[in-house]
Amino acid sequence: MRNAIKLGIYLILLGCLRGAWLYTSKEEARKEEENERTRNKITTITIGQRRFRIQESALIEEIKIPEQSFGLLTDTHGDVADVQYFTKEFIKRKVDGVILTGDIADMFRWYVTDDGEHVLRVLGETNLPVYVLPGNHDVHRYYTNTIRKLGREYPNIIDLLRYRRVDAAGINFVSNPYGEGPHYKYSDYVADERKYDELEKLLCSFSDNDPVVLVTHQPPLCKGKYGVDYTLGEKNEGSQQLAHLMKKCNVKFSFSGHLHSATNGCTETYEPVPQKQFSPSLLVTPGAVLRHKTRTGYACNAAIITVTGKTLMYELLERD
Ligand SMILES: [Zn+2]
């Protein structure tokens, strides 16, 4: 009898717990829906003097800028201190925006730390437009939650996963978070045919005179040792599909990361481009912010990109 009463109490308690749990998840879903509705009502993003119009998954800016520069970072893998170092450098150099091409935190770190959030906060504090893209290490659920959370505090952080096409003043960006190969095996951002079709439409969609840049975590496949995908293993490890789509849509510029030790700038025909020299075609992989092995030791890299007319120039930054 006493056991029956105990069991009854357990069942009632369980019922209450389940009720409370259902209520919180329903409440969360309702809040998320409300946020989504508010987000959809927003038609512009204002960052300082700059104003971007939102058109579905595209951002459009309608002013003219004769020359501008960007700080380019990739593969930070939660290395907040070095992100701080390069961000200070970017501010000193008066860049007009910052671009981070993925692998914000290490995959396991998204589960146990908030490094990814800290990296984004450091960049958000610049008050400049900060273009962010996930890489194979970025866990989709954490990436989107962090971006959403920081979005209220830092409206200057532009999520290139949401806005795949940016027609900014003097430059156009098309983003590609997806990739292939062994490093993407456990990633949330594996490329497939449909994603490449979508990318092709975006890459071929510009008709203005501004340079179009493919902003991608994985670099396009190049040929030879000057390629932006040439690794310490002396191989070109970029994506063939990306190289193919760039050619098909006559896209002559790309910013990429993923291969930590590939620190390079080359043309669309894989000829070397010297630093601080404007080029009508330029693919750049700056090398990881996370300390990585080089041919002569270890390094920690970033880059400054300058844009004028239809030409781009790069300068590598290195922290000893
Ligand atoms: Zn990567």
Query: CATH code at 85?
Result: 3.60.21.10
CA distance 216 to 231: 17
Same domain, 154 and 275: yes
Q: Does a structural domain hold residue 29? A: yes
CA of 104 to the centre of ligand 1 (A): 9
Same domain, 117 and 86: yes
- Mean pLDDT value across residues 292-304: 91
Same domain, 269 and 179: yes
CA of 61 to the centre of ligand 1 (A): 30
CA of 63 to the centre of ligand 1 (A): 34
CA of 178 to the centre of ligand 1 (A): 10
CA distance 132 to 69: 16
Q: Does a structural domain hold residue 48? A: no
Q: Does a structural domain hold residue 6? A: yes
Same domain, 37 and 125: no
**Per-residue model confidence (pLDDT) at position 108:** 81
Same domain, 105 and 21: no
In this predicted structure, the answer to whether residue 235 has a pLDDT above a threshold of 60 is yes
CA of 188 to the centre of ligand 1 (A): 12
CA distance 57 to 63: 20
> Residue for token digits 């993003």?
45
In this predicted structure, the answer to whether residue 16 has a pLDDT above a threshold of 60 is no
Q: Which strand (E) or helix (H) includes residue 18?
A: helix 2-41
Q: Which of 13-27, 114-128, 242-256, 289-303 shows the lowest per-residue confidence on average (mean pLDDT)?
A: 13-27
Q: Which of 50-64, 127-141, 215-229 shows the lowest per-residue confidence on average (mean pLDDT)?
A: 50-64
Same domain, 175 and 310: yes
CA of 183 to the centre of ligand 1 (A): 7
CA of 212 to the centre of ligand 1 (A): 23
Q: Does a structural domain hold residue 200? A: yes
Same domain, 200 and 106: yes
Residue type, 137: H
Burial of residue 60 (number of CB atoms within 10 Å: 0-12, 13-18, 19+): middle
220 vs 12, more confident:
220
CA of 101 to the centre of ligand 1 (A): 9
CA of 42 to the centre of ligand 1 (A): 32
Residue 19's domain comprises 1-41
CA of 218 to the centre of ligand 1 (A): 7
* Assigned token pair, 49: 């003097």
* Assigned token pair, 91: 């501010």
| Cα dist from 225 to 230, 264, 272, whole Å | 6, 10, 9
CA of 125 to the centre of ligand 1 (A): 25
Same domain, 34 and 91: no
Q: Spell out which residues have Cβ within 5 A of ligand 1, the ion.
A: 103, 135-136, 258
**Per-residue model confidence (pLDDT) at position 88:** 98
**Per-residue model confidence (pLDDT) at position 11:** 60
CA of 274 to the centre of ligand 1 (A): 25
Q: Does a structural domain hold residue 47? A: no
Same domain, 191 and 303: yes
Residues 102, 288, 211: CA angle, nearest 5 degrees:
60
Q: What is the pLDDT of residues 65-122, one digit of tens each?
A: 889 999 999 999 999 999 999 999 999 999 999 999 999 999 888 888 899 999 999 9
Same domain, 262 and 305: yes
| Cα dist from 110 to 1, 113, 117, 218, 261, whole Å | 50, 6, 9, 20, 23
CA of 176 to the centre of ligand 1 (A): 13
Q: Does a structural domain hold residue 234? A: yes
In this predicted structure, the answer to whether residue 1 has a pLDDT above a threshold of 60 is no
In this predicted structure, the answer to whether residue 297 has a pLDDT above a threshold of 80 is yes
Q: Does a structural domain hold residue 49? A: no
| Total domains in the fold of the chain | 2
**pTM for the predicted model, two decimal places:** 0.86
In this predicted structure, the answer to whether residue 40 has a pLDDT above a threshold of 80 is no
CA of 233 to the centre of ligand 1 (A): 16
Q: Share the mean pLDDT of the chain.
A: 91
CA of 175 to the centre of ligand 1 (A): 15
In this predicted structure, the answer to whether residue 293 has a pLDDT above a threshold of 80 is yes
Cα dihedral 307, 256, 129, 165 sign: positive
CA distance 172 to 61: 10
Same domain, 140 and 278: yes
Same domain, 241 and 211: yes
CA of 108 to the centre of ligand 1 (A): 14
Q: Does a structural domain hold residue 46? A: no
